[in-house]
Structure 1
């Protein structure tokens, strides 16, 4: 676990052993089983999660009960209901395991302590947040400007391993197409 977290952080900022020991002290590690929830809509969001192993799905259920897949998160990715996490409000989305999953958990209090205590980590989280914002904008633009075939091709190009790990029904939902349409696109 420690090696994966350190390697992930050091892709952006180098850390001394003492600095990494400080960083490590702010995280806890938890394991979840397939179908378990890390975050449930309507409940408090205690942590942001760095995925060590496994696969997560962030979903939003609209007022009619329709499920919308906001994102997937696999190894080396971060995920949470960030609005609820940072604003300390109730979750509007749910985060569920699609596979048995191990995560590093970072509470908001520890996130703040980490950023205040080590400027390198503030820089790290700024870069991660900017990358996430860019990815969100790309996804929105894809929905606004691309047809189903183009969205599927973009998904394959950006995240080829997701195609093998995510059930087709969920991939179809993520792409905004029917299961049947996805089957035609995948031929």
Structure 2
């Protein structure tokens, strides 16, 4: 998992509320267990018509937002089923940070495990960031995880809270496997002792 330290990029406004995981990645695309390749199907039913043509009015199809790395979303983002494919698709598309007033708990935790920073802010602050995102590609935001600050294109700074352990994992690029590998030497020591003491196991 890549480290998340400071992100300076385009923010796309998506003010819809209750965007669920089936909207993020429809169930028809859940046949894979790979984390890569799902970005092309992110928000599939909102991005494309039935013939597979892009819908020009959808925000991520607009030229100024095709390279968005930040998503400013409406309330209750990531609700619905607990599919981990949802953050996989978001990350594969290139979005590294999602900002909202609230997230579904399972989706929220899955984001951290997949290198995405979900930020919860009060409605008035999300509204400020939504307005900034609506300015287009020239209005780039900076998300500084170490300082726990978002800086708008006009230099306004908004502080955010994040769990210390989850922050540590993102800053160091540690998913569940990475956390386990940090203990590799202790695991090897234990296994060596166990093999000596209980060779029949």
TM-score tier, shorter chain, comes to under 0.3
* Greater per-residue strand proportion: 1
Decide which structure has greater helix share. 1
Higher relative contact order (Cα pairs below 8 Å, separated by 6+ residues):
2
Give the structure-1-normalised TM-score. 0.28
The higher radius of gyration belongs to 2
TM-score (norm 2): 0.26
